[in-house]
């Protein structure tokens, strides 16, 4: 047994006091957080999925915490304009980033000189929602299955065309992962957002499309589109007859795009922890779940540990696809 003399005990108590004293201001700030308006930056335009989900989350935070949570849209460069601006805000929790993978694990790997380092400049706070990506065709297409598409592409090199919401978008890269594993090539036709892809598919301007659930749901239910397969790990209850990529042998294409909240690096840990707790409450709120279910978004809460693990995985996964395809933003 170690005996502490009076001097040693005093020194130990002093060290503990010094260590905890530094935490006291942060703990006090966290208890009172937020003390004023909070800005939630969204790196995409108003009316899109990220904007809609971000506003639902911000509205509920405002109700729960009694301070304004206002959404600010900053668009451009696959979300990098907002992310670069966010990296420079004070680390006090007064500005947050509600985002997708685009400016975090994708876009920085598609430019020569990123304006920020997403793994050093940002702190994951919470995952909030998921939505898989699907390969779909016009319901009148002769391709009844993904096997038909692969067979056509192998028999007709260079003739398969597919659309996505843009170069470097999650749908684009997930489709490329499927084609790579299937050993086929397809000509990518990028559009400005998912809303422009469906009319092109229905007009037979492209043979195939890679899109999110929100973009295809009405078409599937209205029998104008046919979903061939999806990127989720197991079949979606809303579309039980549509197989997963893994079921069809493309296991490496299993990845589900996400939405989540981030704080800037240096934000006091007690504030980050409080935000995580509050976002978990938001994710469990029936009104929030109902509003997001209407957009076919899966509410999925995950704390910083799960979020960090996902970011590590995705950075490598998307990086492999980007390097293999030589993809760069703008081309």
Q: What is the pLDDT of residues 94-150, one digit of tens each?
A: 999 999 999 999 999 999 999 999 999 999 999 999 999 999 999 999 999 999 999
> In angstroms, how far is the first alpha carbon of the chain from the final one?
69
What residues make up the domain containing 238? 133-253
Kindly state the percentage of the chain with pLDDT values over 70: 91
Q: Is residue 11 part of a domain?
A: no
253, 279, 310 — which closes off a domain? 253
Is 235 contained in some domain?
yes
pLDDT band per the 50, 70, 90 thresholds, residue 54: very high
Q: Do residue 191 and residue 248 come from a single domain? A: yes
Q: Report which of 228, 92, 256 is spatially closest to residue 170, judged by C-alpha positions.
A: 256
Residues 52, 118 within the same domain: yes
Residue 234 sits in a domain whose CATH number is: 3.40.190.10
Residues 213 and 270 in one domain: no
| Same-domain status, 62 and 73 | yes
Q: Which of 253, 287, 312 is the last residue of a domain?
A: 253
Q: Say how many C-beta atoms besides its own lie within 10 A of residue 193's C-beta.
A: 16
Q: In the prediction, which pLDDT does 9 show?
A: 52
Q: 168 and 73, same structural domain?
A: no
Domain count, the chain: 2
Q: Is 6 within a domain?
A: no
Query: What CATH number does the domain containing 119 carry?
Result: 3.40.190.150
Q: Which residues pair with 260 in a beta bridge?
A: 99, 127
In a domain, residue 10? The reply is no
Please indicate, yes or no, if residue 161 is contained in any of the structural domains.
yes
Structure pTM? 0.86
Write down which residue in 219, 253, 287 finishes a domain.
253
How far apart, in whole angstroms, are the C-alpha atoms of residue 136 and residue 212? 10
């Amino acid at each position: 047994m170690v005996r502490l003399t009076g001097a040693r005990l005093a020194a130990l108590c002093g060290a503990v006091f010094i260590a905890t004293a530094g935490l006291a201001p942060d703990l006090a700030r966290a208890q009172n957080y937020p003390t004023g308006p909070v800005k939630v930056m969204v790196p995409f335009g108003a009316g899109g999925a990220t904007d809609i989900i971000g506003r639902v989350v911000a509205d509920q935070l405002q109700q729960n915490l009694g301070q304004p949570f206002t959404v600010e849209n900053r668009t451009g460069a696959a979300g990098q304009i907002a992310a670069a601006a966010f990296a420079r805000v004070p680390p006090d929790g007064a500005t947050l980033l509600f985002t997708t993978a685009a400016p975090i694990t994708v876009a920085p790997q598609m430019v020569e000189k990123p304006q920020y380092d997403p793994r050093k400049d940002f702190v994951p706070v919470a995952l909030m929602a998921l939505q898989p990506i699907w390969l779909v065709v016009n319901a009148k297409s002769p391709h009844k299955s993904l096997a038909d598409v692969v067979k056509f592409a192998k028999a007709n090199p260079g003739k398969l065309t597919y659309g996505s919401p843009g170069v470097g978008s999650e749908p684009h890269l997930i489709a490329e992962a499927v084609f790579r594993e299937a050993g086929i090539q397809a000509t990518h036709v990028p559009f400005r957002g998912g809303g422009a892809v469906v009319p092109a598919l229905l007009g037979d301007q492209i043979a195939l499309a890679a899109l999110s659930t929100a973009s295809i749901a009405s078409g599937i239910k209205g029998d104008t589109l046919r979903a061939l397969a999806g990127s989720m790990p197991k079949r979606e209850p809303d579309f039980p007859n549509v197989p997963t990529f893994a079921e069809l042998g493309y296991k490496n294409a299993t990845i589900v795009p996400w939405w989540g909240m981030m704080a800037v690096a240096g934000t006091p840990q007690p504030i980050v922890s409080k935000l995580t707790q509050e976002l978990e409450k938001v994710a469990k709120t029936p009104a929030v779940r109902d509003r997001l279910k209407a957009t076919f978004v899966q509410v999925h809460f995950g704390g910083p540990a799960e979020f960090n693990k996902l970011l590590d995985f995705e950075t490598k996964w998307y990086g492999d696809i980007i390097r293999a395809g030589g993809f760069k933003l703008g081309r």
